[in-house]
């Protein structure tokens, strides 16, 4: 059986696919509003559906209920510039998101809100000044033999 022959649960249950898509949008920003940084509870269309906006990843951003309701069907960039909590880094992140560059959008959001840095498995802790332990060094394979690294 090939992967293309498989039937996936999302194919049988479209609501499950939409729910997972919405959850994935929230996971990009670690459940924070893209506009103000508070916990996100909804999905906002940057270009509102009333103005022809589609429900696609590039047009939908996580937002708190206050921002989503206050923005209503206004243009996201014009509305955001008038807000007290306006941050140009977040504005650039929204622009990158709309342009489809989610990686850049995430970096800009992390720059705007440093506590958004996700701790990934295997990621090193920040360097702390003080006693330092050196990792055990393993031999390096080379053509014709092995070289044992010298301790620094």
pLDDT value for 45: 95
Q: pTM for this one?
A: 0.68
H or E, element range at 62: strand 60-63
Q: Is the dihedral of CA 77, 95, 31, 23 positive or negative?
A: positive
Are 108 and 92 a contacting pair, CB within 8 Å? yes
Of 48, 57, 41, 64, which Cα lies nearest the Cα of 96?
Answer: 57
Which residue is associated with the tokens 């270009």? 47
Confidence of residue 108 (pLDDT cuts 50, 70, 90): very high
The pLDDT tens digits for 27-53 are: 989 899 999 999 999 999 999 999 999
The 10s digit of each residue's pLDDT in 87-102 is 999 999 999 999 999 9
What kind of fold does domain 31-113 have according to CATH?
Answer: DNA Binding (I), subunit A (1.10.30)
Which residues lie below 8 Å from residue 58, measured CB to CB, with a gap of 6+?
97, 98, 99, 100
């Amino acid at each position: 059986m090939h992967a293309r022959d498989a039937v996936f649960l999302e194919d049988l249950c479209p609501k499950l696919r939409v729910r997972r898509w919405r959850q994935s949008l929230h996971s990009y920003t670690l459940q924070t509003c893209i506009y103000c940084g508070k916990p996100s509870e909804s999905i906002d269309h940057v270009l509102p559906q009333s103005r022809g906006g589609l429900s696609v990843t590039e047009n939908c951003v996580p937002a708190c209920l206050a921002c989503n309701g206050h923005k209503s069907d206004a243009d996201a960039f014009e509305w955001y510039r008038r807000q007290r909590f306006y941050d140009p880094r977040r504005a650039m992140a929204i622009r990158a998101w709309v342009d489809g560059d989610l990686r850049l959008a995430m970096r800009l959001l992390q720059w705007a809100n440093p506590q958004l840095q996700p701790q990934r498995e295997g990621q090193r802790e920040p360097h702390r000044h003080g006693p330092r332990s050196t990792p055990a060094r393993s031999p390096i394979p080379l053509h014709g033999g092995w070289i044992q690294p010298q301790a620094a």
